[in-house]
Structure 1
Amino acid sequence: MKSIWQQILRYFYIGKKDPNAPKTRYVAMMHGMNRISIILFVIAIIILIFKLLRRH
């Protein structure tokens, strides 16, 4: 079973691509949407941390 961290690295083109993975348009669009959602999640976490730190 693949590690979730390896999959995230592949989304951001940091990790090595799986040669056996299907190369269709739909898979590419899915990876693009996953990239966007991961980036938005990280931005939201950073904003929450800043808000929590400013409160104190």
Structure 2
Amino acid sequence: MGMWNQIAQYLYIKKRDSDTPKNFSIKFMHGINRISIFLFLIGLIILAFKLLRR
């Protein structure tokens, strides 16, 4: 699976692959990855606003 497909699945843009295993550890790991991607995007938006306000 490609990196862009995985990111699209984390951000609920693309439907999850039905062949992936469904245990608690993987579900928790994907949740943490989803949170980190959202925080990174929020940080980029804040940085862009700060740079544009100068």
Alignment TM class, shorter chain as reference:
0.7 to 0.9
Q: Which runs of 5+ in 2 are unaligned?
A: none
Q: CA deviation at 1:31?
A: 0.6
The 1-side partners of 2:12 and 2:50 are apart by 31
Report the TM-score, using the length of structure 2 for normalisation: 0.87
Q: Residue 45 of structure 1 aligns with which residue?
A: 44
AA in 2 matched with 1:53: L
Larger-gyration structure (1/2)? 1
AA in 1 matched with 2:32: M
AA in 2 matched with 1:24: N
Q: CA deviation at 1:25?
A: 0.3
Report the TM-score, using the length of structure 1 for normalisation: 0.84
The 2-side partners of 1:8 and 1:16 are apart by 11
Q: What is the percent sequence identity of the aligned residues?
A: 56
Moved over 2 A (4+): none
